[in-house]
Copies of this chain bind each other. A is one copy, B any other.
């Protein structure tokens, strides 16, 4: 129908990187305060032909940021505050690159926004839970996604000169929304008065100086003369609130080899990806052993492999609408891994591992794919891995053995980590969300901690959708997967987004629910995405002509 888009030419997009390969960020460490400097290489876009002017970013720039935020947590226990600043004289960051965005498919636009939102939430998670506080030091204009990046930080400093400003010019310039949480953080995090937020978002030039402070858009304005001193002072003050260890050795994160942790099987005819998690085989016995294992500590290695598979499927396999989770291994060992995570929870590295598991399971929740978990003979859905059953839209457990299969019967086992370590975006555990109307069922599940539950027991406790024996299993699962593949992908995405997040709303669910849903709608409308729409005409000098109809 249309010419191939740029990213179709360069898939698969790779998410593996490290500071030695960064083209757009510089990471300086060496004490309590780290500095992340954004200095985008205009020629370094993921999309050949797009020029990343004015520190604007595409997915490739954000992949590096996500990597840096992650490495700071694991590799740099000494870092207690991170300063984000620009490496360019004239601009902090101009936000998402519009040329790249306009040329990308609808699905890439949506997934790009989702990934960048997850990165900003990871910054807030580091601040809230890892003792790594973030400071945005804005010199020059911070526009659109540039200001939204700052809004994810704990403290925003703005140079008090005529050229430094913050703005969200998406609406007047591009006819789309600020899509990286800006609107939600304006009203709910920074508590900017809504009519001021409206004025701010309708203005191309944004705000600076006293007004930016008075409207709570930034936390302080600083004269150029004291800029570097003030940054250091604020960073030290933030660092002083941290509980990071003072004499710990970082855990290196080499490139991930997923083979020990999972198998990813793609069935394009059935539009289905199967992720089989391989349970732990060897585990350390004490904290020293955990640190010695480092990135090969099974929970961390598994989370890294799973996280990588998820983002790969999102961007590179959009037509695989179904993800089936399976597992293989010894449930007792999976539980032993959880016991290590629980016993040593106060250790900084174990804490980071648990937090990364939390974020990875949230990434599962946010997959716009139908999720099914199959608990079969020989599987190890115990403790943390059981989250994959509770994250799924449906989960099934096999009753009894299979002819000719001597693997152990399927069981499901809960651990204490299922009851608090991995809250969803709504702030509740997956089990609490599941049993929103059945507090007794939640209590019964908690009493079952540690017991390998048979298929019948797991079903009776409401922990799975259904249990089937050998006679029914293959047929029921096959029919279900075929049926799912026949439904409209869009309606499924909307259905799943609605059913997965019952209960309380948080800033995070508001971002992915209200904000993202509206942005997806706008991305689909001719006023933005049409040939005469604002995204297509941006930079041409021509003004888009809008269909004036309101809904």
User: Which residues in A have some Cβ–Cβ distance to B below 8 Å?
Assistant: 105-107, 110-111, 170-172, 174-177, 183-184, 186-188, 190-199, 201-202, 216, 271, 318-321, 368-369, 392-395, 433-438, 462, 464-465, 483-484, 487-505, 509-510, 513-515, 517-522, 524-525, 527-528, 534, 544, 546-551
Contacts and interface: CB of A to CB of B under 8 A. Distances in A.
Contacts of A547: 489
Given A514-B517, A517-B514, A190 B548 contact: no
Contacts of A195: 392-395, 434, 464-465
B107 A495 contact: no
Given A202-B483, A491-B176, A551 B110 contact: yes
A234 B524 CA distance: 47
A369 B434 contact: no
Contact of A187 (B106, B436, B527): B436
A173 to B, nearest CB: 10
Contacts of A321: 548, 550
A433 B194 contact: yes
Given A177-B498, A436-B187, A198 B548 contact: no
Contacts of A464: 195
A522 to B, nearest CB: 5
Contacts of A492: 171, 550
A525 B202 contact: no
Considering the complex of A and B, which 5 residue pairs feature the smallest CB-CB distances, nearest first? Answer: A191-B437, A175-B488, A505-B505, A517-B517, A187-B502
B436 A490 contact: no
A365 B83 CA distance: 40
Contact of A527 (B186, B490, B514, B522): B490
A513 to B, nearest CB: 4
A519 B505 contact: no
A503 B462 CA distance: 33
Q: Give the copy number.
A: 2
B499 A194 contact: yes
B198 A522 contact: no
Nearest to A518: B494
B202 A170 contact: no
A549 B503 contact: no
6 contacts: A183-B495, A187-B498, A187-B499, A188-B436, A193-B438, A505-B510
Contact of A171 (B111, B176, B495, B517): B495
A551 B516 CA distance: 12
A101 to B, nearest CB: 14
B106 A520 contact: no
B551 A502 contact: no
Contact of A193 (B107, B434, B522): B434
A178 to B, nearest CB: 9
Given A191-B436, A198-B393, A521 B494 contact: yes
Contact of A318 (B319, B368, B438, B549): B549
B437 A186 contact: no
Nearest to A171: B491
Contacts of A187: 436, 498-499, 502-503
A167 to B, nearest CB: 14
Given A520-B551, A521-B521, A550-B318, A193 B490 contact: no
B550 A319 contact: yes
Contacts of A394: 195, 198-199
Residue from A183, A498, A548 with most neighbouring chain B CB atoms (10 Å)? A498
A425 B515 CA distance: 17
A522 B494 contact: yes
Residue from A175, A195, A520 with most neighbouring chain B CB atoms (10 Å)? A195
Nearest to A488: B175
A433 to B, nearest CB: 7
Nearest to A525: B490
Nearest to A523: B521
Contacts of A110: 551
A234 B168 CA distance: 55
A492 B527 CA distance: 11
Contact of A368 (B502, B522, B551): B551
A194 B488 contact: no
Contacts of A105: 549
